[in-house]
């Protein structure tokens, strides 16, 4: 599987290969530099590779080589982890790093590429069905309302969490594995509150504390952001149920967002500038 690329791109294997449901990866050395070779098997992964190339290393890992199905990326080797930081007393700092990475990605003002998937399509698992669970019905209606009036349209990573932003040392903390979406910038911040894992997410006071950090760092309207969190958690729960997995964690965070929304004086959207 990798042999053709190893020869063509003059790569040296440098670790054990990894296989996922959507791609095959192997650590390599490229001209003596640590890199990762990834061969995509789905259109979603291929779109993500195209977006990595479009970012040109700004806020994201740098692309060294690419073709229609494979991508060679610079490899993070520091060993520092935002997940470990979040679990071991540096949760606020980990969240600030995630917000800074998102801001760097959103700050690229080149014309967006045509291959991006609109958020309306991404939410189809939630908005295309009528769930029998009350919180999912509320998440669905919230998503439909938000999607109908998106304001600050940006190229979106689509899956920002503690495992998808890595420490590249002198290059800083950079993103990998995007979903390649386009839509309201608020969406990219919502998944932070579900991570690095549900055990951490459910720690007493954690949701509201990290909500405050995100709202301050990203200059978000609190009520609007809570709506996006509710909508995102509904989508995540829908995906889980479709695949036969438990949706309990996502639904619990959706309830947290709903409860705080009920306390908001207004649900008006932020006054932001569209692309």
Q: Give the strands of the sheet with 153-156, arranged side by side.
A: 117-118, 181-184, 153-156
Q: Angle 145-273-212 (CA atoms, 0-180°, nearest 5)?
A: 70
Contact between 229 and 236 under an 8 Å Cβ cutoff? The reply is: no
**Residue 159 among the catalytic residues:** yes
Strand partners of residue 181: 117, 156
Backbone angles phi, psi at 66, to 5 degrees: -160, 155
Instruction: Report how far residue 198's alpha carbon sits from residue 252's, in angstroms, rounded to the nearest whole number.
Output: 9
Catalytic site residue from 152, 159, 167, 197? 159
Strand partners of residue 154: 183
Instruction: Report how far residue 90's alpha carbon sits from residue 77's, in angstroms, rounded to the nearest whole number.
Output: 20
Q: Give me the active site residues, please.
A: 159
């Amino acid at each position: 599987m990798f042999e053709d690329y190893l020869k063509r791109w003059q790569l040296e294997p440098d670790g054990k290969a990894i296989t996922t449901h959507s791609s095959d990866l192997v650590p390599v050395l490229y001209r003596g530099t640590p890199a990762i070779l990834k061969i995509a098997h789905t259109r979603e992964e291929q779109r993500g590779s195209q977006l990595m190339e479009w970012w040109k290393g700004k806020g994201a890992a740098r692309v060294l080589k690419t073709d229609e199905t494979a991508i060679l990326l610079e490899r993070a080797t520091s060993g520092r982890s935002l997940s470990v930081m979040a679990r071991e007393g540096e949760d606020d700092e980990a969240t600030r790093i995630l917000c800074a990475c998102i801001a760097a990605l959103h700050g690229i003002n080149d014309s967006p590429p045509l291959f991006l998937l609109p958020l309306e399509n991404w939410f189809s698992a939630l908005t295309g069905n009528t769930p029998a669970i009350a919180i999912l019905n509320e998440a669905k209606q919230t998503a439909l309302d938000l999607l109908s009036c998106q304001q600050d349209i940006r190229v979106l990573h689509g899956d920002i969490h503690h495992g998808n932003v890595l420490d590249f040392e002198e290059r800083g903390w950079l993103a990998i594995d995007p979903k390649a979406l386009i839509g309201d910038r608020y969406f990219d911040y919502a998944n932070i509150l579900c991570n690095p894992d549900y055990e951490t997410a459910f720690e007493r006071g954690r949701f509201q504390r990290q909500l405050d950090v995100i709202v301050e760092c990203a200059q978000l309207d609190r009520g609007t952001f809570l709506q996006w969190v509710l909508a995102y958690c509904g989508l995540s729960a829908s995906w889980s149920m479709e695949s036969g997995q438990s949706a309990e964690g996502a639904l619990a965070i959706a309830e947290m967002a709903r409860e705080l929304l009920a306390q908001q004086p207004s649900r008006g959207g932020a006054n932001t500038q569209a692309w």
